[in-house]
Amino acid sequence: MKSRTVLISRNAIIVSFIICLFGLEVTFAGEENKVPKDKAIKHLHPCISGGTKKTVFYVGQEAKDGSPIFNGTVFLVQYDGHPYAVTAKHVVAGLYETLKDSEFTFFLNQVDGTGLQLKQDWIMRRTGGKWLLSEAADIAVMPFLLSDNFDLRLIPLDFFVTSDSLMELEDAFYISYQPGVESPGRITPIVRSGTISIINPDNSFILDAFVFPGNSGSPVFIKPSIAYDDISVSQGCKFIGVVSSYLPYRDVAISAQTKQPRIIFEENTGLAYITAVQALQDLFKTEEFKKQHYAFKEHIKQFAK
C-alpha cells in the first residue's frame, strides 16, 4: 500500500514533547465515557469516542519506496504518570529477527489528520529504554514519548480489570490493525468483538472471535451494553487483555502406503487466545522493569534541562 505518511522534524517533536510532558496535557481513554447526545460523533459509540480507539497504533517497518509495512498492533498505557507502549511479545521478537532498532517503525495519527512514521531508535535514545519481554506470557512493554502532535491517548491503571473479575459469556471487543482495511496517509484501526468462552487457570482466556496476523498486540476491552437517549453511558470499556493468537484446528493427512503423516492442514477455529492484564501487571513488578522505569524518569529530567 502506498502511503502519504510523513516524518515530522525532530525539532518539532522535541518542542511538542516538552509542551505535552510538562504542560500536563495528557489525555486518558475513558475521560469522555459520558457523551451528551448532541455532542456525539455520528457512528461512534461513546466507548470509542471516549478514547479507547486512540490508544492504538501500529508497528512495522518502512519499505524501500517509503510505504508502510504493518506487522502488528501497539497501544499505550500509563504507569506512574508515564507512557508505555504495549504489544504481544512475539510481534517484537519477530521483528527483531530481521530488523535493527533504526528500522523498527511506529505508525500513528497526528491531530491534524495526517499520519506519522516514528523510528524506534529515536525514542529509545530519549527514554533510555528498550522492549522488555515477559518470560511467562506473550506480552512486551517499552517506554514511549508523547507529543501534543500525536493523536494518542493512554489507558490508565484504574481501567485495568483482571480476569478473575470476568465471566464466561461476557462480551468483549478489541481494537486492531486489520490487513486490507487501510487508508493512505493514516492508520485506521477497526473494532471487532466476541464472547469470553473460557477463563484458563493461568488467568489467560479464550475469546470467541476471529483474529488474524496483524491483530496481535491489540488491546481487549469489556464491551459496553447500556446507552440512553439523552446521555450514552458506558458500563464497559475497561481494559482486560492483549490479543496473542488464534487457536488453530489441525487436520493431518495420512499416507495410505506408509501410514505416516504427509500433510497437515491448519485452519482458524474462530477462537482467540488473550493474554490477561495480570501478565502486564506482573511485568511491571519485575526488577528489570523497575530499573528501566527509574532510568526513563532520569532521562526525562535530563531532557527537560
135-161 pLDDT tens trace = 999 999 999 998 889 999 999 999 999
Task: Tally the domains of the chain.
Answer: 1
Q: What does the pLDDT read at residue 305?
A: 55
User: Would residue 2 count as lying in a domain?
Assistant: no
User: Would residue 4 count as lying in a domain?
Assistant: no
Domain holding 285: CATH number?
2.40.10.120
pTM of the model: 0.83
User: Would residue 112 count as lying in a domain?
Assistant: yes
Residue identified by cell 527483531 is 96
User: Would residue 3 count as lying in a domain?
Assistant: no
Specify the length of the chain in residues. Answer: 305
Question: How far apart (Å, rounded) are the C-alpha atoms in residues 42 and 211?
Answer: 27
Q: How confident is the model at residue 162 (pLDDT cuts 50, 70, 90)?
A: very high
Question: How far apart (Å, rounded) are the C-alpha atoms in residues 155 and 76?
Answer: 6
Q: Tens of pLDDT along 211-228?
A: 999 999 999 999 987 554
Q: Tens of pLDDT along 244-259?
A: 998 888 777 676 677 7
Q: Across-strand partners of 154?
A: 28
Res 241 pLDDT > 60: yes
Region 121-128: mean pLDDT is 90
Q: What are 72's three cell numbers?
A: 502488528
User: Would residue 71 count as lying in a domain?
Assistant: yes
Q: What are 222's three cell numbers?
A: 469489556
Residue identified by cell 464497559 is 236
Strand 56-62 and strand 261-276: the pairing is unpaired
More confident residue, 301 or 135: 135
Q: Across-strand partners of 158?
A: none
Full residue range of the structural domain in which residue 35 is found: 10-304
Q: How confident is the model at residue 42 (pLDDT cuts 50, 70, 90)?
A: low
Q: What are 10's three cell numbers?
A: 525532530
SS3 80: coil
Q: Tens of pLDDT along 271-300?
A: 999 999 999 999 999 999 999 999 999 887
DSSP 227: -
Q: Across-strand partners of 150?
A: 110
Which of 28-42, 63-77, 102-116, 135-149 shows the lowest per-residue confidence on average (mean pLDDT)? 28-42
User: Would residue 37 count as lying in a domain?
Assistant: yes
User: Would residue 1 count as lying in a domain?
Assistant: no
User: Would residue 248 count as lying in a domain?
Assistant: yes
